[in-house]
Structure 1
Amino acid sequence: MTWQKELDELRQREALAEQMGGEEKVSRQHARGKMNARARLAALCDEGSFREIGKIAGKGSYDADGELESVLPAPFLFGKATIHGRPVVATADDFTIRGGAADAGITRKMVQAERMAHELKLPIIRMIDGTGGGGSVKTLEQIGATYIPAVPGWSDVVTNLDTVPVVALALGPTAGLGAARIVASHYSIMVRGLSQIFAAGPAVVDGLGASYKSASDHQQAKEDLGGSDIHTRNGVVDDEVASEAEAFARARHFLSFMPEYAGQPARRAECSDPRDRRAEELLSLVPRDPKHVYSMRRGMNMVFDEGTVFEIGKNWGRAAITALARLDGWPVAVVASDPSFLGGSWEAKTSEKVERFVKLADQFRLPIVHLVDNPGFMIGREAEMAGTIRYGVQAMNAIYKATVPFASIVMRRAYGIAGSAMSNADRHQYRYCWPSGDWGSLPIAGGLEVAYKSELEASDDPAAELEKIKARLDKVTSPFRSAELFNVEDIIDPRDTRPLLCEFADLAWRKLESEA
């Protein structure tokens, strides 16, 4: 006597689960240019590594004799897998079953996936395609009553944000709880033209969609309401990509910089880029004319290990560049001014972006490198209306609270409160300055005529007198005068930036590994 009969039923149920929402709905999913949930899991994870949990969960249909006729699988898949050989929890919504709505699923599956991540200290990846919420208005009639909203297991989502790396991929229209699950992550991605995010979709916003005359109208309405053009520019989502394949690649790349859980050291990678490489182009990167801009991204590519700069949030908070990178194989977090946007002045969104990124680096114990060319917080009525100073101080607070090693390279300007936020001035200043350095409480050009008003008014030639004053102050503002007083630690040849930062990375990781 064996249990072959039961094993045959198990295989039958597994085969039914693999049909997902059925051939017609899977074909419809593909016709929209979207992969199905199982294909997504296979594409994201290391080949053959995904082991599904709860595969046969769903709603079974039985004949009069109690024999299984069919199964509607749960619209949420999860399991253990590996990415770059390291264990993760991988999840995917199945849009082919009731649009991925939770009322067609089993809540416990989603809860168990989130719980598995923080209890076993595994990164979790959410591939979100659908509402993931409590269902439609029609559901209320089936229940026979309404209810006060609650999200089972949301405490596990919150715990994961404090415990393990969380990556969210928006791979279709996502509303309600689906949108919340995307935002509750450390790194998020949208696929341009394929995914949209909203608290409520166009049909709800526009009176159940009465104004839409065709599917194309509805698609455009979704883009107008919550497309990637909106959410990768307001900071709701970090990045947009052109395809699902690119989304999977970026998710894998992000995780390569991360430890498996908060408290574990991230891993060093093999590095063939010489740590003593001195890029000649760095010597002329910063122009002599203070009004001219330059490419900070070009400078970053010359300083960090070749091909390792992984920028996050490129389209929002654009006065600062935030990226992960490597120095002699060691992972680091990078904050860099972008003088090509608002001259590098921190406005509200930039400050919000810096705050969030510094907190990410501190949580997962990545040393921070700050490349500084900051003329200060953005000024003017619009900046005041946006509450720039509040967001700016919050960014500064995050920098002062960070406990990971911090290195600053002052490449040009460092003015005002924003300039002082380059690092925690009450800690050891691991800092180098380029000869192009220009700093102070405020730009001299902005206060010259006020400070020397009486001398200019008394002069027979105010314009000539102003030029004389400028010439005198040019000497006073030389970075070497600051170095004489040890107000700056060292002025370096820009070409020495990489070797010195590689030295910093060695020392920083020596400290971090001793704490683990």
Structure 2
Amino acid sequence: MPSDSSGDEQSKPQNGGPYEDDGLSWKAPLEEVKAQQRLIRSPNLKDPGYIRQKAQKKLWVRERIEALLDYESFNEVGSITGKPTYNEKGELVSFVPANAVTGWGRIRGRKVFVTADDFSVRGGHADGGIFMKAPYGEILALKAKVPLIRLLDGSSGGGSVATYLTMGATYIPGLAGLGRSMDTLGAVPIASALLGPVVGLAAAKAAISHFSVMVKGLSQLFAAGPPVVKQATFEDLSKEALGGWEIHATNGTVDNVAISEHDAFDQIRAFLSYLPSSIFEHPPSVSSSDDVKRREEELVGIIPRRRARPYDIRKLIKFVVDVDGNPYPGASSSFFEIGATWGRCIVTGFARLGGRPVGVLSSDCLANGGAIDAFGSQKTSKFVTLCNHFGLPILNLVDQPGFAIGSLAERMATIRHGAAAMAALYHATTPIYTVILRRAFGVAGGAFADPEDGTGIRVAWPSGDWGSLPLEGGIEAAYKRQLDAAGSPEEREKMMADLLAKFEDVRSPLKTANKFGIEEIIDPRDTRPLVCEWANHVYESILPQLMTKRRAEYGKDGRPSGYKL
């Protein structure tokens, strides 16, 4: 954090009194500002709020900002917002700051804006805050077109009944600037770290983010805390049982989980490194030492010949994308996964191809065989919308057996959520490169295998297997009468094997390629060279045109019409 200068010696107070005013300059008022800043920026080790913060093994708000941003890059906005107290001699004796610290800073040299809750001041509630300070910061991020980072801990300016006594009346609740947050969401990346109990308005802010990460054992999220829940529903729950990471990192309310506050900051830095500062800029490219023509021998056998056997999709992804260029500590490639703990049948994340950022979309055959369920559909919709909004091309690796089926899938409204995912894919204008790795069956398979309705680039591996239904289940449906008429289970099994043998020849993806039903079948080892060449072309020739069109559509003020998660 920047150090405070002591100022002109002549304007220092004499005998502990107020600063002397020479009547000629503004030195005395400036010294008063610096005195207030010194009080605010130095923790009061005897303050109950600070003691509670440390007892819970949490960083103080200014320690968090220092850990997140580049060294000494923080430039505070509203540095003396709060309530100073003076004694009868006019001496400044204490200062109760607003419970939000806001300001500009840099992450790896790039300008950002930070709004950080100070839970040590009235637990982050409205009666410890200063009206519109945090929302004002979000407006500044929108105007400056820089990423916004929220460090959430408390209600982030949300309500507290104690305010009623201060006001002498109750009030109709407002959104406390949340409407303008929607505007900011439409123009710049927003990342939120949940660093304690996040409730009410703060919970809404966490959900209204492009990326959110909560810390195991430290943060919780809920619409209302345990005391309110107990009064309303008679459930006596701890904070963790009500809204811990095992709940919200598995239902999609938050994207990622961190093991510490510092890990959360690392993930935010990694997330932002792939995105532009605003929708009016290109995603940032970096130099890469990884050969764009690298051919991985292991890819030729990574898909098992026996179709029912699984494989590791993350290992496959890492063979294709850059092995360098990921700022996340300990990563073995440029792949930064988003949402690994929810919608697990779908894999999403950012990576680089020849230094160019791309979104990566695929399925995980280890989770429900890869069949896409309601959560997987929601995850797909959110991720495709995110990439489309910020101009990231999508590498689409397809192994999609179809929508999840059965009574649970129907109760979860899988088809309704699946239709939203299909719409997101179809309406995306960002370039998509589709590689069919293995399966593409039914409506879901069609949506993923042909997201641009015949206009996008698409290739397949020789392991491709597609159709309206998987053969095994399809034969059961098409030949049910004949199979049921078999004299014994043994005869039925033989009949099934004979039917499968008849279909095996036409199942070959080469037959489809003969009829130009698939544009090209490639050697899996050529995947990286091909997609790297595509990414380079997209960034040089396609994205500039899309960016010109976007600037024209958004007008001179650059204010977007909104962004939908």
TM-score class normalised by the smaller sequence: over 0.9
Secondary structure in structure 2 of the residue aligned to 1:82: strand
**2:35 match:** 12
How many angstroms apart in 1 are the aligned matches of 2:216 and 2:78? Answer: 32
Identity of aligned residues (%): 44
TM-score (norm 1): 0.95
Distance 1:449 1:207, change over 3 A: closer
How many angstroms apart in 1 are the aligned matches of 2:477 and 2:199? Answer: 54
Please say if 1:499 is aligned against 2:516. no
Compute the displacement of 1:239 (Å).
0.6
Please say if 1:316 is aligned against 2:342. yes
Compute the displacement of 1:459 (Å).
7.5
Please say if 1:242 is aligned against 2:259. yes
Compute the displacement of 1:452 (Å).
3.0
**2:554 match:** none
**2:25 match:** 2
**1:472 match:** 502
Cα deviation digits, residues 154-189 of structure 1 (max 9, x gap) = 221000110100000000011111111111100000
Compute the displacement of 1:465 (Å).
3.5
Aligned residue runs from structure 1 range 22-61, under 5 A: 23-24=46-47, 25-61=49-85
Structure 2 counterpart of 1:400, which letter? Answer: Y
Match among 242, 246, 266 for residue 229 of structure 1: 246
Cα deviation digits, residues 378-436 of structure 1 (max 9, x gap) = 01111011100000010000000100100111111000111011143424231111111
Do the aligned residues in 2 keep the contact of 1:21 with 1:72 (CA within 8 Å)?
no
Compute the displacement of 1:2 (Å).
2.7
TM-score (norm 2): 0.87
Distance 1:459 1:18, change over 3 A: closer
Shifted more, 7-16 versus 194-203: the winner is 7-16
Distance 1:133 1:80, change over 3 A: closer
Please say if 1:442 is aligned against 2:469. yes
How many angstroms apart in 2 are the aligned matches of 1:469 and 1:203? Answer: 63
**2:376 match:** 350
Please say if 1:140 is aligned against 2:164. yes
**2:279 match:** 262
Compute the displacement of 1:449 (Å).
3.3
Distance 1:200 1:457, change over 3 A: closer
Q: How many residues align?
A: 509
How many angstroms apart in 1 are the aligned matches of 2:539 and 2:75? Answer: 34
Shifted more, 254-263 versus 453-462: the winner is 453-462
Match among 106, 121, 138 for residue 114 of structure 1: 138
How many angstroms apart in 1 are the aligned matches of 2:165 and 2:67? Answer: 39
How many angstroms apart in 2 are the aligned matches of 1:235 and 1:354? Answer: 11
Please say if 1:253 is aligned against 2:282. no
What RMSD over aligned residues (CA atoms) do the two structures have, in Å?
A: 2.0
Structure 2 counterpart of 1:315, which letter? Answer: T
Structure 2 counterpart of 1:348, which letter? Answer: A
Shifted more, 460-469 versus 170-179: the winner is 460-469
Compute the displacement of 1:469 (Å).
2.0
Cα deviation digits, residues 464-497 of structure 1 (max 9, x gap) = 3432221120001110010011010111111111
Match among 322, 338, 363 for residue 337 of structure 1: 363
Please say if 1:305 is aligned against 2:322. yes
Shifted more, 283-292 versus 432-441: the winner is 283-292
Do the aligned residues in 1 keep the contact of 2:425 with 2:452 (CA within 8 Å)?
no
Unaligned runs of 5+ in 1: 213-219
Secondary structure in structure 2 of the residue aligned to 1:298: helix
Distance 1:402 1:512, change over 3 A: same
Unaligned runs of 5+ in 2: 1-23, 324-332, 548-565
Please say if 1:81 is aligned against 2:97. no
Structure 1 counterpart of 2:475, which letter? Answer: L
Cα deviation digits, residues 89-111 of structure 1 (max 9, x gap) = 01211111111112211122112
Compute the displacement of 1:14 (Å).
0.6
Secondary structure in structure 2 of the residue aligned to 1:87: strand
Structure 2 counterpart of 1:5, which letter? Answer: A
Distance 1:32 1:435, change over 3 A: same
Aligned residue runs from structure 1 range 100-179, under 5 A: 100-179=124-203
**1:216 match:** none
